[in-house]
Amino acid sequence: MELLVVDDEETLRSVVSQVLSADGFEVVEAASGEEALAIFKEKPHPLVITDIRMGGMSGIELLAEIKRHSPDTQVVIMTSHASLDTALSAIRNGAYDYLVKPFESLDLISAVAGRAAEKARLVAQNRELLDQLQRANSELQEVNCTLKEMAMRDGLTALYNHRHFQEALAQEIARSNRSGRPCSIAFMDVDNFKAYNDTHGHPDGDKLLRRLSELLMSQLRCSDLAARYGGEEFVLLLPDTPKQAAIRIAEALRAKVEQEHFPGRERQPLGRVTISIGVASYPDDGNDAKDVLASADQRLYHAKHGGRNKVIA
Ligand code: GH3
Ligand code: MG
Ligand code: MG
Ligand code: MG
């Protein structure tokens, strides 16, 4: 382990250095607090042994700077009997231990440094484990967010799914009750989709549903929500939107789909791909989500029976 020995007395410094080098430490020496701090800022050593009383920066000031810079570093103080009080205050300020000069035995230096090194190792290990834990935790949070997002989406089209739509509609109606402003839904179904599947096959039918979803998304305002209600049925939730505005949005969408050059549309019964839409608003068409949905569904049914490729409100 790397260790920084700081003392303004060269003899003492080299005694400590020699003992600890023999113990296997990689020792770097500094002759003042300032020099030690400069070395430390370049490279924070896990272990520092410093004299207290030095010309210029004291060992106590050095200790404070080191702890501020790198709280995990272990600092051992060297002091004469005369300043034992200072040594004790150093302990209170985060020093690991102190050695009293003149040293009773060199073994004591080894023992204290050895224990401090062990503590430094454990602290570093703890830090690493804590970092790992934090990394794992934030990865878990990301996965959790992705799972939540996936649970709201339809697998084929990536639009919101039926369940999320139901939740969003309930929320929107509650908001509508608070604000007193209406909201609307547009319930739509692809016309003659069975024929499309029959002529082009199910995989191409899937592709058409995906392209239609993209087209839906491209036509929406950012406050609107598009969901795949099931099969070839889609639904739009239009917050803060009265019936007339919803009809305009639905009509624009119907026209857009009719004009879109979906692959293979010329082989369809009407020579193109079309959708029928039923529009209903809250609170005009129902007292709750279920009623409003039923109302839109009924209008969709009328659109189908009225010849398809229509918006009924
Ligand atoms: P209508 O104009 O009355 O709505 O006629 P339609 O043919 O669209 O309605 P019908 O209910 O008879 O058929 C719907 C078809 O949609 C049948 C079903 O196989 C197909 N379908 C439902 N979900 C999917 C899907 O995820 N992928 C594909 N390719 N087809 C689907
Ligand atoms: Mg001194
Ligand atoms: Mg259909
Ligand atoms: Mg259908």
From the CA of 204, give the closest atom in ligand 1.
Answer: 29
CATH architecture assignment, domain 2-127: 3-Layer(aba) Sandwich (3.40)
Q: What is the pTM of this model?
A: 0.72
Nearest CA to ligand 1 atom 18: 194
**pLDDT digits 0-9 by tens, 116-150:** 999 999 999 999 999 999 999 999 999 999 999 99
Transcribe the chain into DSSP letters. -EEEEE-S-HHHHHHHHHHHHHTT-EEEEESSHHHHHHHHHHS--SEEEEES--SSS-HHHHHHHHHHH-TT-EEEEEEEGGGHHHHHHHHHTT--EEEEESPS-HHHHHHHHHHHHHHHHHHHHHHHHHHHHHHHHHHHHHHHHHHHHHHHB-TTT-SB-HHHHHHHHHHHHHHHHHH---EEEEEEEETTHHHHHHHH-HHHHHHHHHHHHHHHHHHS-TT-EEEEEETTEEEEEETT--HHHHHHHHHHHHHHHHHS--TTGGGSTTSS--EEEEEEEETTT-SSHHHHHHHHHHHHHHHHHTTSS-EE-
Nearest CA to ligand 1 atom 12: 194
- ipTM greater than cut 0.90: yes
154 lines ligand 1 (CB under 6 A): no
The segment with the largest mean pLDDT, out of 82-86, 97-101, 146-150, 300-304, is 300-304
Residue 82: pLDDT above 80?
Answer: no
Domain ranges of the chain: 2-127, 162-312
Nearest CA to ligand 1 atom 26: 231
Q: CATH number of the domain at 162-312, please?
A: 3.30.70.270
205 lines ligand 1 (CB under 6 A): yes
